[in-house]
Amino acid sequence: MSTTTLIRHGRIVTAVDDYHADLLIEDGRIAAIGRQLNVGPEVRVIDATGLMVFPGGVDCHTHLENTFGDSTTCDDFESGTRAAAFGGTTTIIDFAFQNQGTSPMDAITRAQAKAEAGASIDYGFHVIVTHVDDAVLGDMRHAIRHEGVSSFKMFMAYLGTVMVDDAAIFRAMRMVGEHGGMIALHAENGTVIDLLIREALAQGHTSPRYHALTRPSILEGEATHRGIKLAELAQAPVYFVHLSAKEALAHVIEARDSGIPVFAETCPHYLFFDESVYDSDDFSLAKYVMSPPLRSREAQDALWTALKTDDLQLVSTDHCPFCMKEGHMGRVRQKMYGQDDFSKIPNGAPGIETRMTVIYDGGVRTGRISLNRFVELTATAPAKLFGLFPRKGTIAVGSDADLVLFDPQAEQVLTAHTHDGNHGNCDYSLFEGRHVHGKVRKVLSRGDLIVDEKAWLGTPGRGQFVRRGEAGGF
């Protein structure tokens, strides 16, 4: 259904440029950029006067239809990618889960089958590796070289389920380092956390606040340091997901300053909320049960500074939504599953639709980061780091015409009320009631207009699997 489109009079913003020009889109790609491009009457014209034109957002950490233990996230590829698109994100990297006894390639095949029918924007996968042996390593190499899957997530936490030991991480790092891949680490000390959880429960502490109290930031710092040392020895790049702790950040900064290829993301919830929310034993705090938990105000300020100075490279969502109300959208074993035991509350929070808007409002408008840096953090850096660039993550001739027309003057109130603009399945938003400046007006994915103000023009299944190049190279 691709047509030729001209986007006229927009203010084009990339990670490095900021200028007014017209964009010509042909066959889903950007065909020309110039001042006052002339086109015939057959060309569809979109007037972007007064609007900023960003490259479509790249969210490299989402969990759609992901199952953890007994609980499955409440957004599937249909609802999750629709919500992403309304928020200005046009590419996601989700997860393919290697169950015990299955191979990474099985995991990729299963994840692709799930995404194929539902996704309305483009997508790739990291494989969650839960077991390492020679066959698994061979499969990972094949995935990097031939399947366009060049990154793998491993867990240093969640003892007894997905946690792997240091030797497994080291073996995987050594292999991917040689073949152009990258390991993404969930860095928290799983064995000590497990002990603290058991002690808390034995003392009768069952409410959600104990989720945070049993995952102190020093244990994120310790695991991050360990992960860096393993990567250094393995001579491989390493990526830290959902970095939240000041202690962890200090280790990343130290390593980067000494030239080790260490990269890290943080997520909007760590930038806008802090541990003071865990102030009671009320079960409603389950909405803040994510791992790592929310940290101190000082940590929050340090994360913002690090985004500005490139000690942190990007912002992804870790969109991992579980409903507060059992049975909402037919989903069971959601947050209420841990009503009597905080350790059973499925971990994670929604955020796929609000990322670009809250980072624009809370970052650019307040002067914490520049407009170019905003684009870099939300689109260009994730595309470069995970092998999607220059097809994704920038506005250039030949790149996919994944574009966001953003109105910096518009104001809106964020909410989880479906009729008011929540396009996913989750029944709550961490940003409920937040008044923000800036609004996504139109979104194009490979030249197709999929969001036009309030109208949804995307179709499930139009999203394509994107084969990625090498990861960790930039």
- Select the residue whose beta carbon is closest to Zn ion and give its number: 417
Burial status of residue 176 (CB atoms within 10 A of its CB: 0-12, 13-18, 19 or more): buried
When binding is defined by CB under 5 A, the residue of 178, 257, 310, 420 that contacts Zn ion is 420
Residue 417 interacts, among Zn ion, ligand URP, none and using kind-specific CB cut-offs from 5 to 8 Å, with Zn ion
Pairing of strands 455-456, 5-13: unpaired
Please report how close the Cβ of residue 347 comes to ligand URP at its closest, in angstroms: 3
What CA dihedral angle connects 419, 283, 245 and 263, to 10 degrees? Answer: -40
The three-state (H, E, C) secondary structure of 150-186, written as one string: CEEEEECCCCCCCECCHHHHHHHHHHHHHHCCEEEEE
- In angstroms, the CA 450 to CA 326 distance is 31
Please report how close the Cβ of residue 25 comes to ligand URP at its closest, in angstroms: 35
Task: Write out the two tokens for 263.
Answer: 């990269």
- Does 317 help bind ligand URP (rule: CB under 6 A)? no
Q: Which is nearer to Zn ion, 28 or 57 (CB)?
A: 57
Q: Which is nearer to ligand URP, 63 or 391 (CB)?
A: 63
Q: Phi/psi of residue 239, each to 5°?
A: -125, 130
Please report how close the Cβ of residue 186 comes to Zn ion at its closest, in angstroms: 3
Site string for ligand URP, 284-303 (x = CB under 6 A): ------xx------------
Residue 420 interacts, among Zn ion, ligand URP, none and using kind-specific CB cut-offs from 5 to 8 Å, with Zn ion
When binding is defined by CB under 6 A, the residue of 9, 11, 29, 63 that contacts ligand URP is 63
SS3 assignment, position 300: helix
Please report how close the Cβ of residue 319 comes to ligand URP at its closest, in angstroms: 9
Helices assigned H by DSSP within 241-318: 246-257, 268-272, 297-309
**Which residues, numbered 225-244, are part of the site for ligand URP (CB under 6 A)?**
242
Q: Which residues pair with 465 in a beta bridge?
A: 123
Q: What DSSP element (H or E) covers 191?
A: helix 190-202
228-251 in b/e burial notation, b at 16+ Cβ within 10 A?
bbbbbebebbbbbbbbbbbbbbbb
Q: What DSSP element (H or E) covers 44?
A: strand 44-47
When binding is defined by CB under 6 A, the residue of 147, 318, 361, 407 that contacts ligand URP is 318
Please report how close the Cβ of residue 421 comes to ligand URP at its closest, in angstroms: 24
Please report how close the Cβ of residue 158 comes to Zn ion at its closest, in angstroms: 9
Residue 423 interacts, among ligand URP, Zn ion, none and using kind-specific CB cut-offs from 5 to 8 Å, with none
Q: Which is nearer to ligand URP, 334 or 464 (CB)?
A: 334
- Does 320 help bind ligand URP (rule: CB under 6 A)? yes
Asked if 51 and 64 touch (Cβ cutoff 8 Å), the reply is no
Residue 347 interacts, among ligand URP, Zn ion, none and using kind-specific CB cut-offs from 5 to 8 Å, with ligand URP
Residues at the site binding ligand URP, with contacts judged by CB under 6 A: 63, 186, 242, 290-291, 318, 320, 347-348
Residues at the site binding Zn ion, with contacts judged by CB under 5 A: 186, 318, 417, 420
